[in-house]
Amino acid sequence: MTTNLADLQNEIYSYDLWRQQSITSAKSYATSSSEKESLKSYDSSEKDPYFLVRSPAYFDSYDTNYLSQLLDDLSIIDEVYQAFNDETDTGPYETQFVNAAKNVAQKQFIIQQMCLTEDKYIIDLENFLFYYLEPIEHWICESSQNHDIFHKYSDVCSKQSLIDQFEITKDITKAQEVFYRGSKERLEMWGPTQFISDIFAEFYDKLSAYRRYVDNFPSVILTLDILYKRSTSFCKMIDECASKTQSTNLKDFFTYLKLPMQKFSQYEPYINQLVQATEAAHPDYRSLVKIQEKYTEIVKQMEQAIADRISHLRVLEVSRFIHDVPIHVSPTRRLYISGLLTKVDQSNPHSLTDTRTYFLYSDALIYCQKIKVTSHQDAITTTSPTKLHYKGSIRLKKAEIMPLSPKTVAKITSEVKKPFAFRIRKASLETKPTSEQRQNSIAATTPTVYGFEICTCEYFVEGGGAGLWSDNTIALHHNGSGSTKRVYTMRTRTEAEQNAWIGLLRRTINNLSIKK
Q: Could you tell me the residue ranges of all domains in the chain?
A: 36-320, 335-416+430-513
pLDDT digits (tens, 9 = 90+) for 220-274: 999 999 999 999 999 999 999 999 998 888 999 999 999 999 999 999 999 999 9
| pLDDT value at residue 144 | 75
| pLDDT value at residue 72 | 60
Dist. CA 380–CA 373, nearest whole Å: 9
State the average pLDDT for the chain. Answer: 77
Question: Cα 299–303–309 angle (5° rounding)?
Answer: 135
116-125, 270-279, 344-353: the lowest-pLDDT one: 344-353
Give 3-state DSSP helix, strand, coil % of the chain, rounded to 5.
55, 10, 35
| pLDDT value at residue 412 | 87
| pLDDT value at residue 488 | 94
pLDDT digits (tens, 9 = 90+) for 433-452: 665 655 555 444 456 899 99
The count of other CB atoms within 10 Å of the CB of residue 173 is 18
Instruction: Report CA 261 to chain centroid distance, whole Å.
Output: 11
Assess if CATH 3.40.50.300 describes domain 335-416+430-513: no
pLDDT digits (tens, 9 = 90+) for 297-353: 999 999 999 999 999 999 999 999 899 899 999 999 999 999 999 999 888 888 888
Label the pairing between strands 388-394 and 322-323.
Answer: parallel
Annotation: CATH topology of 36-320: Dbl Homology Domain; Chain A (1.20.900)
Higher pLDDT, 460 or 316: 316
| pLDDT tier at 476, thresholds 50, 70, 90 | very low
Q: Which helix (H) or strand (E) holds 504?
A: helix 495-513
| pLDDT value at residue 514 | 78
| pLDDT value at residue 67 | 56
Q: Nearest to residue 478, comparing CAs of 463, 493, 468, 496?
A: 463
Tell me the average pLDDT across 168-186.
97
| pLDDT value at residue 68 | 62
25-39, 112-126, 191-205: the lowest-pLDDT one: 25-39
Asked if 490 and 342 count as a contact pair (C-beta separation under 8 A), the reply is yes
